[in-house]
Structure 1
Amino acid sequence: MITKGHQQSARCACPESMRLKTIHITGIFVYLLLPILILSGLGGCKKQEDRPVASYPDPVELDFDQIKERGTIRMITRYNSSSYFLHRGMDRGFEFEMVSRFAGDHGLKVEVILLGTDDDPITLLNRGEGDLIASNYAITPDRIPHIQFSSPYNFVNQVLVQAAGQQAITDSSGLDGMTISVRQSSSYFTTLQKLRDQGHNITIDVVGEDWNTEALIHEVAEGRIQATVADDNLYRIASNYIEGVQSGLVLAEQDTVAWGVRRNAPQLKEKMDEFMAEHFRIRESDGRVLRSAFLNVLRRRYFEDERQASRFRDRSFDMVYTGYISPYDDLIRDIAQEAGIDWKLVLAVMAQESQFNPNARSWAGAVGLMQIIPRFSRVEDEALLYDPEINIREGVRYLQKHLNRYTHLDSLNRYSMALANYNVGMGHIADARHLAVQLGNDPDEWENVADALLRLMHRKYYQHARYGFKRGIETVNYVEDIMNRYSRYHAIAELATHFRERSMDDAVSSR
């Protein structure tokens, strides 16, 4: 469920003269909140000298044993083209894939908690709304009192980003007199404060919290701001599709990136540290960074393969700018609206059934985007079911029929029951509801029906069921996966709407 709420030796490839050795801090900016901000002005910027002392709630008592019992681990992250994003409607992201691997190792599913524009990750973590922060999150002095961190999984360097036409800054003396724009909550802000404390005449231009690093890099390229700061791995990718910028001085070396976890969750931290030890370690003999094959594949996919990484970022940008999740959004919206169904629920079913492949065909003979079984369809010619519009209409008709059976239920139970029917048919769900009653449970609560479906895999129960044995775990997982994806699509669509509206407001105010 989603709610809104690289280097080969950890060293920079820049020339020695371009490294600023006097700064050694930890921190990595959580970049790329949403790329749509590239299109809007920097309204709301202000000069600010000091970061206020943060106040966070005490952490709830919630550790790995409870997470394991729940069956899901909640990942707090931002929607961006590195940590978590949608690619052709499917979940992607460097941190998302790492957390998914960790979850899989422990038999858990991943629930994504998307940070909204005003959300603070530490607050959500300590309240128990999430279990870990995984968003290119750095170990910084101001965060350490409030949370603990896993062992690291990456090091990055902070670099100064300037317009290509400017004279490149190659030593710290060139910083004097510069105005550098960053978010106040970023580790870049801390770096610039340290430089200023060392006597450098730097003006720190604090921008709004809903600005991201790539948007600021674009502002540098357009000449609207003088400079910003970026992580070197992000800069390398961004410079492939943002022209007119250059990286200069290394402001901070080897910032340590890790997962954030509550201070009173020692079990979870231990499991995380064990996971990190399998995939990332530093060899004591020579300080060389050693990564697992899995982590190397992720690094190439999201950071080092420039063509692939740029394609991901283009997709992420398109989704936020246009609000489109799949190529079939307009068609789904129209058909779902006619049926009175939330189009994002239909979209989530489609992603689960076919991953948006109109030519998909299952071993059971289900075809097309919504995986329609021809013998249950009103369409006589099976070949027509490969037509996206016809297939979607059949799928929506079928889904609507099941939704109409449960109009007396709240939306969560109604959607869950209808999805279960869509997956396995009315007969097996009727068996499960009947068993729930026999067990003294409310058959209108999906949790009770899910429990009954699991029981119906055992002979003790299915021998008395009208429709017999069914692998109920598959249906339970099917419903959970679609409801989680539906929540993700809903949250992301809200974020996209917010930023499109903001962009229009900024465009009007700038006239």
Structure 2
Amino acid sequence: MKRLLPLGMTIFLAACGDWSFTPLPFPTPAQHDLVVLTRGGPLTHQTDDAGNATGLEHDLAEAFAQELGVGVKYLVVAPEDMAKRLRSNDYHIAAAWLSPLPDSEIRATPPIFQTQDTLAQNDASLPLRELAQLSGKTVHAMAGSRQAANLHRLSLEIPDLAVVEVGHGDILDLLELLGNGQVDYVAMDKNLEDIANQFVPNLRTTLLIGEEQPIVWLLGDAPNAELAARANAFIDRIQRDGTLAKLEDRYFGHVRRLNQADVIKFLGQIETSLPKLRQYFQTAEAATGIDWRLLAAVAYHESHWDSNATSPTGVRGIMMLTEETADRLKVSNRLDPRESILAGARYINLLKDNLPDDVREPDRTWLALAAYNIGPGHFNAARTIAKQLKADPNAWFEMKRILPLLAKPQYYERLKSGRARGGEAVILVENIRSYYDILVRHEPQAQIATRVDGMTGGPGLKLKR
């Protein structure tokens, strides 16, 4: 990434062993890491089944460190410990979905996002219309969160408002308790609403709590001047050049596609239909390396896990293979779920292999799935259109805008491949992303050597007042 400021100044970077800070001049290759204070959560920092760290704040910190030319060391603290750690001097930036601290010496960057807190409740309960109705109610929030602090302030004004802080698990665990009727009200960040609706379809948000707040990086009470300037310039750049929009799309772009009925139906099918098919998906993962839950998500979107599905155009089976594709992959019976799932997985890998080497994940998978839907000929035509329009054909963020153009005469009339329903490919990919997210939360990763079909347990929630 390009340099944004003169490099003659210095920043303090953490020494590997002892948290003392040493000034390192740019552009000397850093021998120490940018130390990032964060906390676990879907918007901040979490680890997937393969041990890879993800999260919107995590990706932003990685991009900033890359621009600085340094590595990153994460200090992942419990939410209830965040306030104390912010007053320490053992980090460079705190990237944990935080707002500026009122009446504090701790400096902050310009706003990266805007957010607001909201009250969630089960849609079977009567909605609250005004804050005064919280009198006599018990509201849960994650310990140490902005929502908990806002609720405690409200409890000084609203009689008998009880606030319960949850000390373990994450906000999605807490919202699942809400969906199951084990708690009545949960205070949450409004930015999480669409993500949460994928997992808790009977959730509804009602009251807004407090004013809109900016999300910033906190830099401590005595940040190095160069580090602060570089952070501010980085945030300004990513907001202007589209980098931030692309990262937001990676985490939020697909989560508004499924409605409540879609999610409820899918969750029911996970309980009833998936157990009969799980072994076939896991066998295909062992053969191809594709996460079985992604294959299951593709199959659900294609056929709703119906092995006998047949479309008016002649595609058949649980993976809805064309006759041509089935012949190419030597499938003898498209209605055999074992054959169809394995062939579908192999076909996805072939489509991924057709992409240029510099296409990175997860874009590589999403682009391959678009080609799965409309065929490689139409997909390559869309890549050509993208290049003509100076869009990046290797980025799903760009191609989801380009693919619908295949249905417009001014574009498809110039193509050998002709017209295609590219918009349907976008819908397919985005729906599959949502189905996959749901399966990742509800189904364990396959242990290929010793296959596991059951659910794994996790730590229970610990509630404290």
Query: TM-score, structure 1 length as denominator?
Result: 0.44
Query: TM-score, structure 2 length as denominator?
Result: 0.48
